Amino acid sequence: MKLSVVLPAYNEEGSIEETLQTLYAKLQAEQIDHEIVVVNDNSKDNTLDLLTQLQAEIPSLVVHTNHGPNGFGYAIRYGLERFSGDCVAVMMSDLSDDPADLVAFYRKMVAENLDCVFGSRFIRGGATYDYPKHKYIINRLANTLIRLLVGIPYNDSTNAFKMYRKHTIDGLKPFLSAHFNLTIELPLKAITRGYSWAVLPNSWRNRKAGESNLKIKEMGSRYLFILLYILIEKYLSRSDYKKKGN
């Protein structure tokens, strides 16, 4: 089963080289058929030049530039429209996600024929390193609210690191989120529409270079919009969007 990995990249010149070299080395060592799809989100630094250079040493690297509209959600959506694998994982370009966890997700999906595999940093085996305290508090409150309102046991919906089968991605369209709220739109749609899923622990490390593009003050209403949409679909759509065959 071919794995695609989609990574958004905006001004990641300080991280992208190490991230891609580490990721490629791990997937090669595990002999996993794959492609690495990086979406340059109209970067203003040297990111695109570095990506072009890296294509000479990483044959599975595919580079796209999203000229606009821009934003985390738009960049991921751009990649999700263009990957060629049988399944796809969303990872970050700053090496905050561990390639070893990616391999575990892939093995789990193949072994159990799952539609989705989600990561949680807050279950046994999960870990965070250098997580800003204020972001941690907001994260736990937001995920608790999501879990209670949607009625699910999954406790890390805002975690961007997740994996989906191609048919699952097709079944979740059209996408509504333009920003980081895409991280909850995808899994919550998958869960409420009846796709099979499992959760594995994963680790997260704060970036060593560059700046995070997540602006917490700007995201509250956007997350709430998606959460309300999911609740409307769950309770009022009369299962019109359920996975076929369920």
74 token code pair: 């738009």
- Which of 41-45, 157-161, 214-218 comes out lowest in average pLDDT? 214-218
Task: Give the pLDDT mean for 188-210.
Answer: 91
pLDDT at 214: 52
pLDDT at 66: 96
CA distance 186 to 170: 11
Residue reference for tokens 């630094």: 45
Work out the pLDDT band at 93, boundaries 50, 70, 90: very high
Whether residue 180 is predicted with pLDDT greater than 80 in this model: the reply is yes
CA distance 228 to 214: 21
Q: Determine what percent of the chain is predicted with pLDDT higher than 70.
A: 94
Rounded to 5 degrees, what angle do the CA atoms 50, 179, 224 make? 160
Task: Give the pLDDT mean for 42-71.
Answer: 96
Rounded to 5 degrees, what angle do the CA atoms 95, 146, 143 make? 40
Provide the 8-state DSSP code for 42: S
Whether residue 61 is predicted with pLDDT greater than 60 in this model: the reply is yes
User: What is the torsional sign of CA 143, 146, 150, 151?
Assistant: positive
Q: Average pLDDT of the chain?
A: 94
Task: Give the pLDDT mean for 176-186.
Answer: 95
Task: Give the pLDDT mean for 35-46.
Answer: 97
In terms of phi and psi (left: phi > 0; alpha: psi -120 to 50; beta: otherwise), the region of 200 is beta
Task: Give the pLDDT mean for 147-151.
Answer: 97
Residue reference for tokens 């999501």: 146
Provide the 8-state DSSP code for 97: B
Residue reference for tokens 């044959």: 59
For residue 51, give the H/E element and its range: helix 47-54
CA distance 188 to 234: 10
Work out the pLDDT band at 25, boundaries 50, 70, 90: very high
pLDDT tens for each residue of 102-116? 999 999 999 999 999
Q: Go through the domains of the chain in sequence order and give each one's CATH number.
A: 3-236 (3.90.550.10)
User: Using an 8 Å Cβ cutoff, are 70 and 41 in contact?
Assistant: yes
pLDDT at 183: 96
pLDDT tens for each residue of 201-243? 999 999 666 555 555 555 689 999 999 999 999 999 988 999 9
Whether residue 245 is predicted with pLDDT greater than 80 in this model: the reply is no
